[in-house]
C-alpha cells in the first residue's frame, strides 16, 4: 500500500485546516478534503480513499446519509470511517454504528487522541480485504449466477415476509406491491430480459418501500400535506431500505437493495436520494419507478380517485425523458395488453381475467 489517502468531508474550514495540519504533522498520509457532501459524492465515485472522516451536520445531507450514498456509488463498505460531530447525541451514535461507522469522535477531541485513533483506522485500512458478498450494484446477471449457488426456497420465504412487513406499514401497499412487481416483470420482459432475470425482478420489486418501516407513524400516516421537514424524513425510506438489504448474500435481497435506493430517482436527475441521472440509475430502479407510478395512478388512494389506464398512459408518456427513461416508457406502452391482464386479475374483472392463473 502506498501513502494512505485520507478524505475529510466537513463544511467547517477551520476544522478542515486543523485536521489537515494534524495529519501532516503526524505524517499519517495524504489528505483530500471537501466542504460540501455533494462535492465529495461526485469526486469519490472514481477515486476511493483509504480512510474517511465525515462531519455529521452538513448542508444538504448529514454525514450518515453521505456515507450511505458513497457506498451506493461504489466506495467499499469496508473502508474505515470516523464520524465527527460537534455535539454527539445517543441517536446519532446509534445511527452511526448501524451505518457501519467505526469511530464516532467529538470535535472537542485532543490532537494527540485524534492522531492515535486515526492511526488505528489507517491500520485497519491496510488489512487485506476479507471475502465479501457481492456489492449492491452487482448486475442482474451476476446476481443470478450467485443465486444458482444458494438455496432458493429460504430466500424466497424471507423476501416474502419482508415484502409483507413493508406492506403492513402502508395501507396502499398490500396489493400494490404484488401488482406493481408483476407490471415491472412484464416491462422487463419487453425490454428483452431473460425469464430468470424477470423473475428475480418480480421477487425483489416488492421490497422497494421496505424502508417505510423506519418512517415514524406521524409522517407515514399523516392525513394532510407533509411539511418540508416531513418530506425529508419520508424520502429517507429509500436509504433505510437500502441499508436494511445491502450486503446480504441473497441475490433477491441485493437486487431489492438496489431498487429500494433507486426507485425515486428520475431520468433528468431531479429525483432522490442521490439525484442520479439517465443510465447512472440502475435499470431495475428505472423499471420499478414507472411500474410504481402506473399502479399509484390507476388505483384509488386516500387523496385521489383511480385514473383510467388511458389517462395514466398519457401522463407517463408525457413524462418520458424527464421522470422516466424513454426506453422503459416504450417497453411499457408495448406491454399494455399484458398490464391490462395483470390489472384485471387484481380488480377481479372477469372481462379481462386471464384464462390461466397468473404465474407467481
Ligand atoms: Fe418509495
Beta strands in 90-244 (DSSP E): 103-106
* Cα 287-290-291 angle, rounded to 5 deg: 85
Residues in the chain: 360
**Residue 182: which residues within 8 A CB-CB, separation 6 or more?**
202, 342, 358
Cell numbers 444458482 correspond to 148
Alpha-carbon torsion (208, 214, 216, 219), positive or negative:
negative
One pLDDT digit (tens) per residue for the chain, 360 residues: 578 899 999 999 998 899 989 998 888 889 999 998 888 887 887 788 999 999 999 887 889 888 888 887 778 888 889 999 888 888 888 888 777 888 888 888 888 888 888 888 888 887 765 544 444 445 665 655 555 445 555 556 667 777 766 766 665 556 788 899 999 999 999 999 999 899 999 999 999 998 888 888 888 888 788 899 899 989 999 998 998 888 777 888 889 999 999 999 999 999 999 999 999 999 999 999 999 999 999 988 777 788 999 999 999 999 999 999 999 999 999 999 999 999 888 876 444 444 444 555
Cα 27 to ligand 1 centroid, rounded to whole Å: 46
Cα 228 to ligand 1 centroid, rounded to whole Å: 17
Q: How far apart are CA 338 and CA 198, in angstroms?
A: 14
pLDDT at 174: 61
Cα 220 to ligand 1 centroid, rounded to whole Å: 12
C-alpha cell at 178: 404484488
C-alpha cell at 267: 431520468
Count of Cβ atoms closer than 10 Å to residue 67 Cβ: 27
Q: What share of the chain is helix, strand, coil (3-state, %, to 5)?
A: 55, 10, 35
The DSSP 8-state label assigned to residue 206 in this structure reads G
Cα 149 to ligand 1 centroid, rounded to whole Å: 31
Concatenated DSSP letters for 245-259? HTT-S-HHHHHHHHH
**Residue 327: which residues within 8 A CB-CB, separation 6 or more?**
191
Cα 162 to ligand 1 centroid, rounded to whole Å: 15
pLDDT at 326: 97
| Model pLDDT for residues 28-84, shown as the tens digit of each residue | 889 999 998 888 887 887 788 999 999 999 887 889 888 888 887 778 888 889 999
Cα 266 to ligand 1 centroid, rounded to whole Å: 12
The strand pairing partners of 85, in sequence order, are 106
Q: Which residues surround ligand 1, an ion (CB under 5 A)?
A: 209
C-alpha cell at 102: 467505526
Cα 24 to ligand 1 centroid, rounded to whole Å: 44
Q: How far apart are CA 342 and CA 335, in angstroms?
A: 11
Cα 63 to ligand 1 centroid, rounded to whole Å: 22
Cα 297 to ligand 1 centroid, rounded to whole Å: 14
Q: For the chain, list the domains and their CATH numbers.
A: 5-126 (3.40.50.2300), 140-352 (1.10.3210.10)
C-alpha cell at 79: 473502508
Cα 209 to ligand 1 centroid, rounded to whole Å: 5
C-alpha cell at 317: 408518456
Nearest to 30 by CA among 13, 47, 11, 12: 47
Cα 212 to ligand 1 centroid, rounded to whole Å: 8
The strand pairing partners of 31, in sequence order, are 6
Cα 10 to ligand 1 centroid, rounded to whole Å: 30
pLDDT at 167: 67
Cα 261 to ligand 1 centroid, rounded to whole Å: 9
Amino acid at each position: 500500500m502506498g501513502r494512505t489517502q485520507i478524505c475529510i468531508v466537513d463544511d467547517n474550514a477551520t476544522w478542515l485546516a486543523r485536521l489537515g495540519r494534524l495529519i501532516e504533522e503526524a505524517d499519517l498520509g495524504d489528505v483530500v478534503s471537501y466542504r460540501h457532501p455533494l462535492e465529495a459524492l461526485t469526486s469519490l465515485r472514481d477515486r476511493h480513499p483509504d480512510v474517511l472522516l465525515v462531519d455529521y451536520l452538513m448542508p444538504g445531507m448529514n454525514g450518515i446519509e453521505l456515507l450511505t450514498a458513497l457506498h451506493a456509488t461504489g466506495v467499499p463498505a469496508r473502508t474505515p470511517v470516523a464520524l465527527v460531530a460537534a455535539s454527539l447525541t445517543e441517536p446519532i451514535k446509534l445511527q452511526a454504528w448501524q451505518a457501519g461507522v467505526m469511530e464516532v469522535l467529538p470535535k472537542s477531541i485532543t490532537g494527540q487522541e485524534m492522531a492515535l485513533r486515526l492511526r488505528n483506522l489507517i491500520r485497519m485500512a491496510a488489512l487485506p480485504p476479507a471475502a465479501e458478498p457481492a456489492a449492491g450494484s452487482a448486475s442482474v446477471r451476476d446476481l443470478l449466477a450467485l443465486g444458482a449457488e444458494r438455496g432458493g426456497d429460504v430466500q424466497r420465504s424471507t423476501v416474502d415476509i419482508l415484502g409483507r412487513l413493508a406492506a403492513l406499514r402502508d395501507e396502499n401497499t398490500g396489493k400494490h406491491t404484488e401488482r406493481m412487481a408483476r407490471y415491472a416483470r412484464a416491462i422487463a420482459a419487453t425490454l428483452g430480459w431473460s425469464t430468470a432475470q424477470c423473475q428475480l425482478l418480480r421477487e425483489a420489486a416488492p421490497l422497494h418501500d421496505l424502508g417505510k418501516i423506519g418512517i415514524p407513524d406521524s409522517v407515514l400516516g399523516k392525513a394532510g400535506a407533509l411539511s418540508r421537514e416531513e418530506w425529508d424524513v419520508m424520502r429517507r425510506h429509500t436509504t433505510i431500505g437500502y441499508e436494511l438489504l445491502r450486503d446480504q448474500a441473497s441475490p433477491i435481497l441485493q437486487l431489492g437493495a438496489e431498487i429500494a435506493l433507486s426507485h425515486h430517482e428520475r431520468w433528468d436527475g431531479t429525483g432522490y436520494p442521490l439525484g442520479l441521472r439517465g443510465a447512472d440509475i440502475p435499470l431495475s430502479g428505472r423499471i420499478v419507478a414507472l411500474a410504481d407510478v402506473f399502479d399509484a395512478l390507476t388505483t384509488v388512494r386516500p387523496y385521489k380517485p383511480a385514473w383510467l389506464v388511458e389517462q395514466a398512459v398519457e401522463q407517463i408518456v408525457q413524462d418520458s425523458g424527464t421522470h422516466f427513461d424513454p426506453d422503459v416508457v416504450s417497453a411499457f406502452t408495448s406491454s399494455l395488453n399484458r398490464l391490462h391482464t395483470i390489472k384485471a386479475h387484481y380488480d377481479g374483472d372477469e372481462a379481462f381475467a386471464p384464462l390461466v392463473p397468473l404465474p407467481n
